[in-house]
Structure 1
Amino acid sequence: MSTRDADDRREYYRIEDTIALEFRPLKQGETADGSGVDSASQLFNLLSELHLMDFESQHLLRHIHERDRTLASYLKVINKRIDLLGQAVAHSLLRDIGPARQVTLSEGGIGFSSDQSIELGTHLAIKIVLMPQALGLLLRAVVIHSQPRDDGQFDIGTEFEALTDAQRQLLARHILQKQAQQRRQARERSSPTP
Structure 2
Amino acid sequence: MSTLDEAGRREYYRIDDSVALEINPLSSADQASQDAMHDTSTLFDLLSELHVSEFESQHLMRQLDERDRVLNSFLKSLSKRIDLLGEVVAHTALGKLGAPQPVKLSEGGIQFNSQQGFAVGEQLSIKMVLMPQAAGLMLRARVSQCDALADGNFEISSDFVNLPDAQRQLLARHVLQRQAQHRRQALEQGQPSGN
Fold shared per TM-score above 0.5: yes
The alpha carbon displacement at 1:176 in A equals: 0.6
Distance 1:119 1:65 in 2: 50
Match of residue 190 from structure 2:
190
- Structure with the bigger percentage of helix: 2
TM-score normalised by length of structure 1: 0.90
Q: How does 1:158-177 map to 2 (within 5 A)?
A: 158-177=158-177
CA distance in 1, matches of 2:74, 2:136: 25
Alignment partner, residue 115 of structure 2: 115
Runs of 4+ in 1 over 6 A off after TM superposition: none
Instruction: Name the amino acid aligned to 2:15.
Output: I
CA-atom RMSD, angstroms?
1.7
Q: Any gaps of 5 or more consecutive residues in structure 2?
A: none
Give, in whole Å, the separation in 2 of the partners of 1:51 and 1:81: 13
* Structure 1 residue 72, shift from structure 2 partner: 0.7
How many residues of Structure 1 are paired with residues of Structure 2 in the alignment?
185
**1:190 and 1:55 mapped to 2: Cα distance?**
34
Structure 2 partner of 1:64 = 64
Identity %: 55
CA distance in 2, matches of 1:19, 1:46: 18
Q: Displacement of 1:32 after TM fit?
A: 6.6
What CA distance in whole angstroms lies between the structure 1 residues aligned with 2:160 and 2:27? 17
| Structure 2 equivalent of residue 52 of structure 1 | 52
- Do the aligned residues in 2 keep the contact of 1:121 with 1:142 (CA within 8 Å)? yes
Q: How does the TM-score come out when normalised to structure 2? A: 0.89
Q: 1:59 Cα shift?
A: 1.1
Asked if structure 2 preserves the Cα contact closer than 8 Å seen for 1:32 and 1:139, the reply is no
Deviations for 1:100-119, whole angstroms, at most 9, x for unmatched residues? Answer: 10001011100000112111
**Any idea what the Cα deviations from partners look like across 1:8-51, whole Å, max 9, x if unmatched?**
753111111011011101121323754243xxx21111000000
Q: Which runs of 5+ in 1 are unaligned?
A: none
Aligned partners of 2:39, 2:188: CA distance in 1, in Å?
Answer: 45
